[in-house]
């Protein structure tokens, strides 16, 4: 498989080669020269190119007919494919508009795709690559009317361009929706679709027909309830048409004074094979990987899983590895995407996780692991999609999982109790010292007050944290079965909860967010009880001793009469 950079260079060289063999214009004429692997069509504004290209691994000889953004040299972005699930097995592909008015894609083995068959004899058909990126078949006798005989915009693949529709034509029964690729190298229809829901008037991402993400209702010309495309460098506008003939959504863009010159009308949405919708201009991402099945924020939809999974379970991206003795099962089915692999693992109560890539050359197929996962905090190994589940999995006794869940609560409680005992002892010593002052007795307990207040409370957690070995706090029995990342996070949060300054300590809602999230935590400061504060200041020859305060409450010195 070619690395990502090598694939880009490979495609860039292919673009350069094809550009030097372009047809004279943007039009394919009836009975004229066909389009083959040696030439291209280019729209009048130069933004779009129609040509044959090779996709997949370097070893693949399959070619496809597609439309590309001509000026997007870095990624060489593909916006439409004529034969996404019917690749040409060699470079013999030909797109022709014959004398009978039929437009079809053929190759050395026969017909591959029939785009249009004329019901009557005509000699005035043309196929034009328009400036919008639409490839359209027209009858020149129609006087330039917008009634197309066929057009690529009616058969979108994974890309939504300005002027393209998502929705339904009630008269013809034509539906418009996006469908993801199977993998980043296989353009065949994959697991995710983007559809227009005409009843609720919102965009919906589905995974194998199950609702995955929703945009919420259209609220303005620039956005929906769950997202907006209002961006200064380019003016967006959504248009919803709903009548007896059709119901659809489309968007338009126009340049303004902030738009870079080289991207005057460069905008599109693409659906990735992981289920993300990416706006190419703003680089914003919607749906897809932010939705884990158990969250309902940002438009994500919850769905029920098997009894062995709870609302606490989810796939998390983790760096690490499975041991050599962990059972493994593979499925080489080339129609399975990484999304399918995760779904199969999710429904298998014994499955622990899957790799982030398939086990075939084109990143399809699945590998399933059934056992303990060893995290790698350096991030240099993996990554894998791991099912994070605090419930029994058959590998870990339920009692141990319960201890892992209760560990942070117990740790925080222990810290709080230690702090309370320290405070009570300090208070007792202060009262004793004050009593001795009132009776004019000498105080011999000053050293105890100054130095003994922390005996028994210099907890091991802080010392191990400073030494970089906090994991030693864990019971050795649990070390092999618990998640090291989760335990270290619990210890980290526990130390934040007992900081000296109460204003620095998180509240309980923050604690829950910290324990269940993945956000970077700030470093803890030294806990309040790891070193005693001096409550008696040394006296000098000209000043009597003063009693200090451990809680910032002023205490007056009392003189006996």
Per-residue pLDDT of the chain (561 residues; tens, 9 = 90+): 333 444 444 444 444 444 434 444 899 999 899 999 889 999 998 889 999 988 876 666 789 999 998 766 445 688 999 999 999 988 899 999 998 889 999 999 888 899 999 887 777 899 999 999 999 999 877 655 557 899 999 999 999 999 999 999 999 999 999 999 999 999 999 999 999 999 999 999 999 999 999 999 999 888 899 888 766 678 889 999 999 999 999 999 888 887 777 665 567 899 999 999 998 877 888 888 888 777 888 899 887 778 888 777 888 889 999 999 999 999 999 999 999 999 999 999 999 999 999 989 889 999 999 999 999 877 778 799 999 865 444 444 444 444 445 555 555 555 665 555 555 666 666 556 445 544 544 444 444 434 444 444 446 778 887 777 877 777 776 666 677 777 788 888 888 888 877 777 888 777 777 787 777 788 888 886 544 443 334 444 444 444 444 344 444 444 443
Give the containing element (helix H, strand E) for 508.
helix 508-516
Q: Are 124 and 142 in contact (CB under 8 A)?
A: no
Buried b (16+ CB within 10 A) or exposed e, 342-379: bbbbbeebebbbbbbbbbbbbbbbbbbbbbbbbbbeee
pLDDT at residue number 424: 60
Does pTM surpass 0.75?
no
pLDDT at residue number 410: 57
Q: How far apart are CA 286 and CA 107, in angstroms?
A: 39
pLDDT at residue number 311: 72
Question: In Å, what is the CA distance from 194 to each residue of 132, 170, 268, 480?
Answer: 21, 19, 14, 43
Dmax over CA atoms of the chain, in Å, equals: 126
Strands 246-255, 166-169: pairing is antiparallel
pLDDT at residue number 496: 82
pLDDT at residue number 449: 39
């Amino acid at each position: 498989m070619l690395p990502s950079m090598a694939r880009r260079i490979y495609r860039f060289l292919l673009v350069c080669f094809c550009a030097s063999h372009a047809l004279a214009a943007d039009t394919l004429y009836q009975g004229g020269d066909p389009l083959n692997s040696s030439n291209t069509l280019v729209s009048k504004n130069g933004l779009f190119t129609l040509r044959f290209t090779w996709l997949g691994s370097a070893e693949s000889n399959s070619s496809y007919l597609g439309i590309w953004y001509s000026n997007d040299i870095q990624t060489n972005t593909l916006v439409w494919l004529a034969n996404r699930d019917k690749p040409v097995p060699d470079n013999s592909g030909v797109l022709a508009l014959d004398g009978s008015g039929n437009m079809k894609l053929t190759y050395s083995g026969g017909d591959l795709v029939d785009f249009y068959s004329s019901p009557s004899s005509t000699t005035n058909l043309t196929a034009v690559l328009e400036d919008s990126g639409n490839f359209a078949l027209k009858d020149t006798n129609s006087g330039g009317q917008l009634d197309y005989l066929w057009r690529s915009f009616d058969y979108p693949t994974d890309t939504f361009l300005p002027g393209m529709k998502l929705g339904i034509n009630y008269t013809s029964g034509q539906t418009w929706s996006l469908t993801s690729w199977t993998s980043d190298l296989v353009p065949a229809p994959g697991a995710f679709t983007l559809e227009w829901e005409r009843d609720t008037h919102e965009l919906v991402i589905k995974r194998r027909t199950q609702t995955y993400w929703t945009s919420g209702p259209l609220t303005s010309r620039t956005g929906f309830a769950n997202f907006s495309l209002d961006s200064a460098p380019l003016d967006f506008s959504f248009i919803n048409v709903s009548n007896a003939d059709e119901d659809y959504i489309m968007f338009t863009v126009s340049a303004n004074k902030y738009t870079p010159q080289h991207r005057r009308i460069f905008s599109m949405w693409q659906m990735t094979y992981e289920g993300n919708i990416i706006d190419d201009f703003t680089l914003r991402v919607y749906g897809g990987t932010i939705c884990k099945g158990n969250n309902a924020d940002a438009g994500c939809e919850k769905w029920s899983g098997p009894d062995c999974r709870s609302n606490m379970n989810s796939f998390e991206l983790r760096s690490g590895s499975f041991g050599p003795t962990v059972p493994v099962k593979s499925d080489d089915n080339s129609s399975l995407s990484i999304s399918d692999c995760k779904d199969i693992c999710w429904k298998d109560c014994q499955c622990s996780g899957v790799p982030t890539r398939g086990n075939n050359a084109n990143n399809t197929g699945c590998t399933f692991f059934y056992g303990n996962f060893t995290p790698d905090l350096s991030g240099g190994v993996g990554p894998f999609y791991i099912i994070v589940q605090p419930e029994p999995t058959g590998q870990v006794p339920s009692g141990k999982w319960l201890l892992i869940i209760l560990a942070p609560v117990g740790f925080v409680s222990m810290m709080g109790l230690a702090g309370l005992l320290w405070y009570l002892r300090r208070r007792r010593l202060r009262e004793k010292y004050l009593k001795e002052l009132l009776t004019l007795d000498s105080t011999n307990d000053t050293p105890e007050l100054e130095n003994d207040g922390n005996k028994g409370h210099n907890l091991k957690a802080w010392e191990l944290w400073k030494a970089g070995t906090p994991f030693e706090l864990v019971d050795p029995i649990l070390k092999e079965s618990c998640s090291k990342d989760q335990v270290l996070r619990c210890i980290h949060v526990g130390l934040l909860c007992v900081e000296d300054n109460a204003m620095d300590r998180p509240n309980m809602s923050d604690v829950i967010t910290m324990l269940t999230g993945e956000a970077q935590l700030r470093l803890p400061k030294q806990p309040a009880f790891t070193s005693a504060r001096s409550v008696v200041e040394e006296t000098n020859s000209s000043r009597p001793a003063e009693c200090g305060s451990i809680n910032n409450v002023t205490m007056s010195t009392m003189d006996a009469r």
